[in-house]
Structure 1
């Protein structure tokens, strides 16, 4: 079970100090509200989702829409909460303490919302953002391909202009909310081979009910049962010019900014919630497991392990909320977002492994929820960049800082307080 709501003030205290009283009160109330929702609305559905891994759950998305949480970063003008990345992190973090799948449904939809906010035209904002805010337009972003993984420059999905519309064909894989989204942001190649990746791709707004949009029958994955992250085939889908997101040739920027400013902190929050519950479950288990004249919790080596697990969680919390606090304040924080994502996953995975070992053979049984938490943890490594990719970016940043050769503008600076696309000639870090 997730930590009690009394943990909220201690966790947020450092970051709420810099907020005004009204903002602090809203964030604290949001923490409590999502905990209540997770306990009373989501928890009763977890067993059903776990017992049917091939089934895509739509009920949780409808319930979250009722709270308007899909519009957490949407401006109030369009009916959104306009509450920022700290609030978004609280939502995902607290949901993940109860259900990684529920948190994944929310976080996956919020990534393309970032792309729409940053790169959408006034007409696109007027047509779509109110629906995003009230949950009637659930979004996904489709970038990854079956044989290309995260290699954006190697994608083969392409769109050709026929004089009246763009004609899109290709296959996208591991699309979050693939089978319940109403609107897909699809990134495709629109320039011939040899064109620089930063100019070769374009992002399109594609409605799920358009002719030629074909989700492949969903089959369950290792973790996140109930959440769909499957494959979509696009077969000569006709897209009008009004559904180009940003400018033609700006698809790389749409994908990268959405991933870096939304995907990384979202996955960090998901890892944090799972991490917290793994430690809680392990603590409960050893405290109730008889050993000698007491319990496992009385054994020195067990206490040593719990101490290391607790230290990891404290570190992960600080990294998570520090990064999004900087993002909300418009500070350069690309490196902080990278570090929070890669270390957040690593720290959670180490604690998850420890928790499984402390449960011993019982950890393998479906009667004990730790195996679900451990399985869900495996899903946060690759999206938005593997650990190797993240560490390479941090190394490049460090080398540029030491040698004074850095020329790249950070995405967190480029999009600070921005709801429209930046100039296309900016050079930015990936």
Structure 2
């Protein structure tokens, strides 16, 4: 089965729509984003107005209800032109997960239509300076004060930190794995602030900065799910949204890296003909194409299963690991082919290589992905979020199959994303 066989006519139309938008609206701004490295607000707002952030939000709340394969295509096509814009889209798509899966009916009615129409960009904030991927090591805390909660602490590497309107923040409300809870925190709340945006190695235009909570008071109604659901919210969001979203960013960058390389070897002349005529170059390009085809198949297969309501946690984990590794391997191969020309900052490859490195850590590093896959192989897997939350992960009728019922919750919870 090829990757294309997973796509319906609706998927293909969506791909062409996003591709045309990216070429017309995003491509002209890439050079400016690279030179300024500031947060790109106008383009992010324009992307949100297309309705794509609500791709997995049900139509009853104003969303597309198109599912995770459609989400993958949107992120992939944006990332082919700009990794930063793909990252902006995926970070806010990730921010919807907590509300879709754990939000109250009131929270869904209040926030999902605004996210779907592009007037609200959500985020999720879990990582802290002293704990990294070790979620149970977090120290940020919420204390009940009458009808409110007061939040204190810091969160780092928050995707869309400087663009987000609504931050889903996981903090401590007690001890151990049952002592984490999630809250919705509006960006204009007193006690909420951001540290200045810092230029990063790549993804110029995107922000993944630090949130500071200084006795930030929010109403108790902003609690997502129940007290103690924080770890479940963080981990399910990472599995069902974070990993496939970063997979799609890596896939789009991988596509762009190969396109840049094939263009280069067809145009650059050596020994009386194009570089593409040399067997050694063909071998390297063939390696890149093989990696891309394998990575794309893994990506589409995993989110197709998710749209069908099938258990696929390990498929999503494997797709993220495979796509990140493959895109970075092809980035190195592309640099070998370009040689000194690849080091020039006026060439797209130099930007693409820097952007590709940014996909490794979010939603779990490669080591964390391998740890989870080892648990599967050793029979120590801790259940399937994709199956437990199947009613809210399946795509709309016409693009999905039968959805199985929920399973019981696991008796133990994982510590790492």
Whether the TM-score (by the shorter chain) exceeds 0.5 is: yes
What residue ranges of structure 1 are gaps of 5+ in the alignment? 1-9, 17-23, 401-405
**1:343 aligns to what?**
322
CA shift digits 1:337-365 (9 cap, x unpaired): 01100111001100001111211111111
Where do 1:62-211 residues align within 5 Å? 62-191=45-174, 195-197=175-177, 199-211=178-190
Contact 1:116/1:125 (CA < 8 Å) preserved in 2?
yes
**Residue 287 (structure 1) shift:** 1.3
Give the 3 Å change call, closer, same or farther, for CA 288–212 of structure 1 in structure 2. Answer: same
Matched with 1:391 is 370
Q: Secondary structure at the match of 1:380?
A: coil
Q: Deviations over 1:221-251 (max 9, x none)?
A: 0010001111111100012110001111110
Greater mean alpha carbon deviation, residues 311-320 or residues 157-166:
157-166
Superposition deviation, residue 164 in structure 1: 2.8
1:78 Cα offset (Å) = 1.3
Cα–Cα, structure 1 residues 423 and 381, in superposed 2: closer, same or farther, change >3 Å?
Answer: same
Alignment of 1:307-386 (within 5 A): 307-386=286-365
| Number of the residue aligned with 2:40 | 57
Superposition TM-score, scaled by structure 1 size: 0.91
CA distance in 1, matches of 2:82, 2:4: 25
How many residue pairs get aligned? The number is 404
- Could you tell me whether the CA contact under 8 Å between 2:388 and 2:408 is conserved in 1? no
Partners of 2:273 and 2:410 in 1: CA distance: 67
Are the equivalent residues in 2 in contact too, given 1:185–1:206 (CA < 8 A)?
A: yes
The superposition leaves residues 267-302 of structure 1 with CA deviations (integer Å, 9 ceiling, x where unpaired) of 000000000110111111111111011121111111
Q: What's the TM-score, normalizing by structure 2? A: 0.94
* Maintained 8 Å contact 2:180/2:231: yes
In 1, the alpha carbon distance for the partners of 2:39 and 2:346 equals 22
C-alpha distance 428-85 of structure 1, shift in aligned 2 (>3 A): farther
**Contact 1:409-1:428 at 8 Å conserved across structures:** no
Aligned-residue offset at 1:426 = 5.4
Conserved in 1, the CA contact under 8 Å of 2:372 and 2:381?
A: no
Q: Please state whether the residue corresponding to 1:167 is helix, strand or coil.
A: strand
Equivalent residue of 2:193, what SS?
strand
**1:41 paired to 2:21:** no
1:217 has 2:196 as partner: yes
Change (3 A) 1:358 1:186: same
- Aligned pair 1:28/2:8, yes or no? no
Match status 1:14 vs 2:5: yes
- Answer yes or no: is the 8 Å Cα contact 1:409–1:426 preserved in 2: no
Conserved in 2, the CA contact under 8 Å of 1:250 and 1:424? no
Q: Could you tell me how far apart the structure 1 residues matched to 2:324 and 2:179 are?
A: 32
Moved over 4 A (4+): 421-430
Task: Report the CA distance between 1:409 and its aligned residue.
Answer: 2.2
